[in-house]
A and B are shown apart, each in its own frame.
Chain A
Amino acid sequence: MRRVAITGLGLVSSLGHDVESFWNATRDGETGVAPTTIPEGDKLTARMVAEVKGWDGAKALDRKLLGLSDRFSQFAVYAAKQAVDDSGDMPRDNAAIIIGTGVGGAVTLDESYVRLYRENQQRIHPFSIPRLMANGPASLVSLAMGITGPSFAVSSACSSSNHAIGLAAGMVQRGEVDAALAGGAEAAITYGGIRAWEALRVISPDVCRPFSADRKGMILGEGSGMVVLEDMERAKARGAHIYAELAGFGMSADAVDMVQPSMEGAARTIKTALNAAGMNPDEVDYINAHGTGTPANDPTETKAIRTVFGDAADKLLVSSTKAMHGHALGAAGALELIATLGAMNSGIVPPTINFTEADPECDLDYVPNKARERQVKSAVSNSFAFGGLNAVLALRAAP
């Protein structure tokens, strides 16, 4: 089996449209959360969101492809271009593209429905279908970059990115492709979409405070993160910068509840990822938590970490960067992987911001409010989705 190197990174987020801005912001504990700018946003209760600011789709696509794209695809193409440039020499003919999304082309759908149902217009844009389809990002990335290998979308709500990255790593590992572009994309901050989240009562009215006793819920985000995965030997031979080895991947289903998280499912998935990586729990320095800031997730995730790591849990740093970049749903795992790689490459672990008060049920070191210096040789990034679908990545410093 081949080993898998991560050799290129790219992203679009509420904390900036490039990796360096994002790393600096997560290290400095900045927030991308602000009142929404979407049409009719002033009618919402949950008005605080982590939107991508100052976006211009023409940054990503030429005029023709731009007309065929939804906002989430534009994010993905722009992130993919950065990742490929960053990797230096990614093969185009024998590379896969796997991009997760939780929702698909929500902005297109929302705009179409406004025209039809509210404005009583008779027609909607003729490219609504190619714009909104969930494989829009994968297709447009392949078109824009001339990559001709296996390409498709995966969907598992908040775990979509990690599933995409894990599957792509498996293809590289087994020698099915020499490289892969993998990650996630989401742009689901629409009036209808936020109303639906409000109805589920998991959105915070102000800020996201993961693991803090007074946490009130999550803050929606958007964006895209993309990574280039490559055969380790190929990456070494060409002298590529290797951000880390993608050493292990675990996935499982809770089969317990559609929305309530399961401690057992989360623990099983982390264990699977560590086993796949051949990593002992006491080797792990940092966990980028799923850490949504909902009452249910954070204690459940804490218990899962304690179950897997035992006494070693007390030496671990655990942080949720969602408080800064928002919960980007299908893009969350990719943004968080890139945040984790930032920690591994800088020796500075990003904080959990907005932390005010310890919760007896959340008793790990969450790196509250201020980044911490720590050499991170091994790390884990968790995603636990609605629908009980879990995907966890295990990373090891470049050899």
Chain B
Amino acid sequence: MPMSDIKDRVKDILAEECAVDRAALTNEARLDDVGISSVDMVQVIFAIEEEFGISIGDGDIGLEIETVGEVTDAVAKVIADAKAGA
């Protein structure tokens, strides 16, 4: 799957799991501003792990993450690292 598709799919998951408007999930959008809490992110990470068959550690998507773009970048990096390692 191309990286752009992965990032789109991550946004789909964010929208589904957090019941927020998909159109509001621009790269620059802040998670707080669109109403995504840290507890929502726990559920999002679980769904992403299930979707892509990867394991996301605490260091991969940590508390410092603030925007939607940072989430999609972090997931893309975990997937790229997993491929490189395989």
Contact = CB atoms under 8 A, between A and B. Distances in A.
B43 A126 contact: yes
Given A123-B46, A126-B46, 7 more contacts: A63-B19, A64-B40, A123-B49, A126-B43, A126-B45, A127-B42, A127-B43
By DSSP majority rule, is chain B's interface helix, strand, loop, or mixed?
Answer: helix
B55 A67 contact: no
B46 A125 contact: yes
Nearest to B17: A67
A67 B46 contact: no
Interface in B27-86: 40, 42-43, 45-46, 49, 55
By DSSP majority rule, is chain A's interface helix, strand, loop, or mixed?
Answer: loop
Interface residues of B, number: 8
A63 B43 CA distance: 13
Interface of B: 19, 40, 42-43, 45-46, 49, 55
A64 B42 contact: no
Contacts of A123: 46, 49, 55
A258 to B, nearest CB: 39
A122 B55 contact: yes
Contacts of A67: 43
A66 to B, nearest CB: 10
Contacts of A126: 42-43, 45-46
A139 to B, nearest CB: 14
Which A-B residue pairs are the 8 nearest by beta carbons?
A126-B42, A126-B46, A63-B19, A126-B43, A67-B43, A123-B49, A125-B46, A127-B43
Contacts of A64: 19, 40
Contacts of A122: 55
15 contacts: A63-B19, A64-B19, A64-B40, A67-B43, A122-B55, A123-B46, A123-B49, A123-B55, A125-B46, A126-B42, A126-B43, A126-B45, A126-B46, A127-B42, A127-B43
Contacts of A125: 46
A116 to B, nearest CB: 14
A29 B49 CA distance: 50
